[in-house]
Amino acid sequence: MITRALLASHGKRMKSADAARSRPDESAVSPAIGPLLAIYVPAPIGGTMPGAPADLRYSKDHLWVRPSPGTGVVRVGVTDFAQQSLGDVVEVTLPRLGETVTAGEACGDIESVKSVSDLIAPVTGTVRTRNDDITRTPELVNTDPYGHGWIFEVETDPATLGRQLAALMDARAYRDLAGA
């Protein structure tokens, strides 16, 4: 979901104190107002990453999945790490109701003041519910990524749900990916 350049300049944790002091030399381009200087916020060294709940599964594309017990329905949203890396979210394009999404393929996009990134479906299934609140109030992705900022719900084949969830990361593996 997040572009490699964005992660390279804003999202990865630095390993040494000297590296933590370096700043990106990049700027972002807003379709509305043009070039913007990058804002550098140094990542803390060591510790744990806040905002990676243990009860969720995570994709390498920085989306989380919350299965509904006893159903084949999963809720999908953007991780706290992703929303922090993106910066202020200004628009979210959701998949259509009834659309079949395929794990690993784009199903919408998310635009921030820094970039536009594809939303890569973490599971395969049919979109049953969309959070249309985020089309009107996209900042919910920033302010409540694991709550009111969820993106859509997918109905999966219950026979494949366990396998699909197993293909995703647990919180510890996701923290390792994100460099926390």
Where in the sequence is the domain holding 86, given as residue range(s)?
57-178
Inform me whether the pLDDT recorded for 5 exceeds 60: no
Residue 49 lies in a domain: no
Examine the domain organization and report whether 62 and 140 are in the same domain. yes
Examine the domain organization and report whether 108 and 160 are in the same domain. yes
Q: Are 29 and 3 in contact (CB under 8 A)?
A: no
Inform me whether the pLDDT recorded for 25 exceeds 90: no
| Number of domains the chain contains | 2
Residue 45 lies in a domain: no
Residue 139 lies in a domain: yes
Examine the domain organization and report whether 113 and 158 are in the same domain. yes
User: How far is Cα 168 from Cα 156, in angstroms, rounded to an integer?
Assistant: 15
Examine the domain organization and report whether 33 and 64 are in the same domain. no
* pLDDT per residue as tens digits for the range 99-149: 999 999 999 999 999 999 999 999 999 999 999 999 999 999 999 999 999
Inform me whether the pLDDT recorded for 97 exceeds 50: yes
